[in-house]
Amino acid sequence: MRFKRLSDTDGFTLIEVLITMVIFAVGILGLAMMQLSAIKGNSIANRVTEASTVASDQIERIMTWDYNDGLLDENNDNTYTLSNGNEVTFDGHEAGPSGNYDVFWNVRENTPRTGSKTVDVTVIWFDRGQRKELTMSTIKIVD
């Protein structure tokens, strides 16, 4: 059996080139999907970070209010309508500075001890039509 000696002029066959192109295309598509997932994850993380900042700012404002301020009454039970038409009940409400977030708070008096109020601040926003929320808590004591 004799083997044919390849010369320098021999190249790739059409089949080899097509197979290489398919493998390359599948790899590029995989990278593109990974990039899209990373962009979506970064967008979600950005919104959560913004909501966290809005909640922290609201807690700082609440801490400057007088302990007996009417905004810190436990049973205000105000009803608010969200941008999607749903109603929520909280003791207090303010619109977020950018208008993309709604900031609510609930007050629990004498919790965890007498002479203190636990304030739960909830930030609500909508992402692709789906309701998202983040809650932070603080304790305010009698001055």
Query: For 27-66, how does the pLDDT look when each residue is reduced to its tens digit (9 = 90+)?
Result: 999 999 999 999 999 999 999 999 999 999 999 999 999 9
* φ and ψ of 56, to 5 deg: -65, -40
* Phi, psi of 116, deg, nearest 5: -135, 160
CB-based contacts of 127, cutoff 8 Å, min separation 6: 44, 47
Domain boundaries, the chain: 14-141
Q: Residue 96's pLDDT band (boundaries 50, 70, 90)?
A: confident
Question: Is pLDDT above 70 for 73?
Answer: yes
Whole-structure pTM value: 0.78
